[in-house]
Amino acid sequence: MADDNTAAKETTPAAPAEGKGKSSVLLYVLVIVNMAVVLGVGFMLYKGKQKEASEPKIEQVIKGEHDAQEKEAGEEKTFVGKVIPLETFIVNLSGSKGRRIAKVNMELELKGEQVAVEIEKRKAQIRDIIIIILSSKTYDEVSTREGKDGLKNEIKDTLNAFLTKGKIANVYFTEFIYN
């Protein structure tokens, strides 16, 4: 009988352990997930390095800014025109009922050679236009940087509208006092 038991054991295949098949599937799934995570991290690192390489370095930015400033300075030196000083303007500011005044000295940078002669001949008209523009401004309008820049542009554009032999390139305030 003992031989029968041994023969029965040898002929019947051993039953697989429960969970052994499930654990190998779980192992494969974990390996695949792990590989996907590693590939994802590797891809993100690769893209980060690629982006870093395409962005300019701080030294490149500084050098580029320095070159741009030198170029602008060179252009300004070549385009500086003749500058004509105007007499002092003292005007009442708008809306102040005579309590706020502005004292302004300015110079006009010219574009063109004949415009200086035209400005000299039309000085009374130019002063009149500038006085009207200045006296139409309120204290709030001329007390800010943006207001002064706007005033410069308005004076320049208005004068350029009636000058025929050249243009005014820029208006410079050499003194601007208001109370």
3-state DSSP call for residue 85? strand
Q: For residue range 30-44, what is the model confidence (pLDDT) as tens digits? A: 999 999 999 999 999
**Domains of the chain from N-terminus onward:** 83-178 (3.30.479.30)
Tell me the pLDDT of the chain (179 aa) as tens digits: 555 555 545 555 555 555 567 788 889 999 999 999 999 999 998 888 887 777 666 777 778 888 888 877 665 555 567 899 999 999 999 887 878 899 999 999 998 888 889 999 999 999 999 999 999 999 999 989 999 999 999 999 999 998 888 899 999 999 999 88
The Cα 51–Cα 53 span in angstroms is 5
Q: Write the CB contacts of 168 (distance below 8 Å, at least 6 apart in sequence).
A: 108, 109, 110, 111, 115, 156, 159, 160
